């Protein structure tokens, strides 16, 4: 449509209405109005296009920010998981080193006991030992504990329990008694006799509350109770571990268990 088209329509309208007295000024005014309307429409379109462009830019900026934040969160989560894995590996290594140190200490004590036993020869057959005296022959507590652990590692659970039981009965005041009780429970667990294992753990926890084996014994009890679907009792034990031994490895493990069974 040309610029003259509105004028033609206007002329036609005037003729059809019987108005033949339109002047040149009328035509010029009409033309100016049409031009003004077009300019106004163009300006509005320009403003709308500018607004749409600005909105589009804002949306793109927001999307870029969200994507960047998502990437940062993902990187932080990955880094956190890596740090947790590294920490667990460090703890595992420390536990291994601690176990090796304990093993060496037990070996040394067993060797000392054996040397002492060899030096202290048993009395002659006609010399009676004083009534109630501690046995002067046979393996010492460290030797019995070592013998029991060796059997336990070989799968000889009955022989292991026999060695631990002998340690407890022959040397009831030895500081190794809690160790013997703990590994007795381990032997019962290996035999799937969980009730007997639980009784050993309970006896250890009750009789030797300050033993370093207590948090581990408590945690193992909690795990066994959880496996037996005794969830409430297991949760009680896990919470007690966290309360009594907040800085122990068992406390961290107990907290993970609590999170998993909520």
Q: Strand, helix or coil at 159? A: helix
User: Which pLDDT band holds residue 130 (cuts at 50, 70, 90)?
Assistant: very low
Listed residue (104, 105, 176, 87) closest to 140, CA to CA: 176
More confident position, 101 or 67: 67
Q: What is the pLDDT of residues 8-26, one digit of tens each?
A: 555 555 555 554 455 767 6
pTM score of the predicted model: 0.53
Secondary structure letter of residue 193 according to DSSP: -
DSSP letters spanning 83-121: HHHHHHHHHHHHHHHHHHHHHHHHHHHHHHHHHHHHHSP
Q: What is the pLDDT of residues 174-201, one digit of tens each?
A: 999 999 999 999 999 999 999 999 999 9
**Average of per-residue pLDDT across 239-246:** 95
Length of the chain: 262
């Amino acid at each position: 449509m040309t610029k003259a088209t509105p004028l033609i329509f206007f002329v036609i309208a005037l003729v059809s209405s019987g108005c033949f007295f339109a002047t040149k000024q009328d035509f010029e005014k009409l033309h100016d109005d049409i031009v003004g309307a077009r300019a106004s429409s163009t300006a509005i379109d320009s403003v709308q296009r500018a607004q749409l462009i600005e909105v589009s830019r804002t949306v793109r900026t927001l999307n870029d920010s969200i994507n960047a934040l998502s990437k940062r969160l993902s990187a932080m989560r990955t880094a956190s998981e890596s740090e947790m894995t590294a920490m667990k590996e460090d703890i595992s290594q420390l536990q291994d080193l601690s176990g090796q140190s304990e093993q060496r200490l037990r070996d040394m004590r067993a060797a000392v006991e054996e040397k002492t036993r060899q030096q202290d020869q048993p009395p002659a057959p006609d010399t009676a030992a004083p009534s109630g005296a501690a046995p002067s022959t046979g393996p010492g507590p460290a030797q019995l504990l070592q013998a029991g652990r060796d059997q336990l590692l070989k799968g000889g659970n009955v022989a292991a329990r026999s060695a631990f039981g002998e340690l407890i009965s022959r040397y009831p005041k030895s500081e190794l008694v809690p160790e013997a009780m703990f590994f007795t429970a381990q032997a019962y667990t290996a035999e799937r006799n969980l009730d007997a294992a639980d009784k050993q753990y309970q006896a250890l926890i009750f009789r030797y509350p300050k033993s370093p084996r207590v948090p581990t014994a408590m945690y193992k009890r909690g795990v066994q109770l959880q496996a037996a679907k005794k969830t409430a009792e297991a949760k009680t034990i896990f919470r007690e571990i966290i309360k009594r031994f907040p800085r122990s490895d068992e406390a961290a493990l107990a907290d993970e268990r609590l999170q998993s069974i909520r």
